[in-house]
Structure 1
């Protein structure tokens, strides 16, 4: 395809499964590296499922723009230098910053679509003459949406996302709009604690694994209180793995996510990461922020909650076994 100026337009395409980013978007260093502040601010207003879908769509759009610019991933331009915002009508708009803006005199337009767990993005780059005209025409009728500020509480937070109407990602396809009408409920819990010197249990100042399991127990309890109004009774841990040592002075972030519920049972996926680490070898009070959170433990917990009758005036009638 040629423009009026006689220069060929460039096209970039990327397809991404949302599960490829599920673990990465839980890591603050990756969010700061891959996404612009405006994108992160809007992501903070979304529920957990919609957040992953939104960030995956933005990441696929950045990959498509990289191809339009004629470079690969990690070849001189950070993904956060490509900012994909949206207008009040939902259409995505691209802002090139820093090194990305210096590469070529190109105006870039993108389109993003979703189908179940897969996102796809197409980017087209035009010479500035043609691109500026397209942008001016669009801006007359569409202005960028304002975005909400991010949540500044970094010490502890619990997200309980009830049914949420999904805002249109773009003005792309009818198939995409049908997907956007679905709603998802997900319950998560989060804790961050500092491990004290008094909790060292083994030689070499090692902390016993039971300390992490107590954190997991608190997360499971909070989730069942939020979903059932009851603390529940922890039944078992499965797939329990300790992957790194924990020592006094370390800061541990523990997260729980409800993944399955039956009439009496709730199944919760659990992870604990070390985010700040004590460095006793460098000095008595020396500590450091880890470049990337270090996974120290994972597990799946099953807890049992009593069956409650629908009539609130009737006393509880616990059931011993689940049908």
Structure 2
């Protein structure tokens, strides 16, 4: 394959099983060596399985990009100098730093795909094409879509518009709740609140989102990647947020997070409480809900039969 002025494009491919990184991604030295700070910040907002999948995808992309640069894994470029971020609509964007920026061609595109526990990445570098600049003068960006990519962890009801399949701007669908946990909800010793209380909040968020998108409460099918990160006690104020990240004809996938923003201080006084300097993540999860399929135009449906999703 050739590019402008007959220059040859360089292609790098890498395939990785997530289990190969399962132990390594729990070691701080490996994380600091292999991933850019932005990648690590986003990874820590994800549940256990999704975190591993995300980091494995980024690692495979870095391996593929290093092949485009003509370098081995430990040959003059640290993987953390290659940062693979993504746009709000999920397209991977490659940013180079340090030595990687000096070696990179003007334009590099990357695509990442996942299949069960296997992740694959393809990178293409085109010499002489117009690119953007990195921290010391050069970057490369891509418009290739990463399957099942998620937006940055920040979730709010006034989030930027998302790109639809036809290029039109559509608002991001989100939901938000803030509740105070009462004394009557202490279920375990030490005044601990059971995790099911947070999952009930998540259920209400998913219901609100499907009402907004489909005019129907839907039917919750499953939770996945549930991770409890901090205890909840009576007197705590919890903010729970949900964001629609993927939808098919019948299914809606919602990412969920709950943060503690105010905390009771019973050791200081019976009614003492404090505002936390930064919200504390107490639980994260991904929910899948099913909504009924309604044929609004029976004549059109007869001409274009669609197989029911299983």
Q: TM class by shorter-chain length?
A: 0.3 to 0.5
Larger radius of gyration: 1
**TM-score of the pair, normalised by structure 1:** 0.45
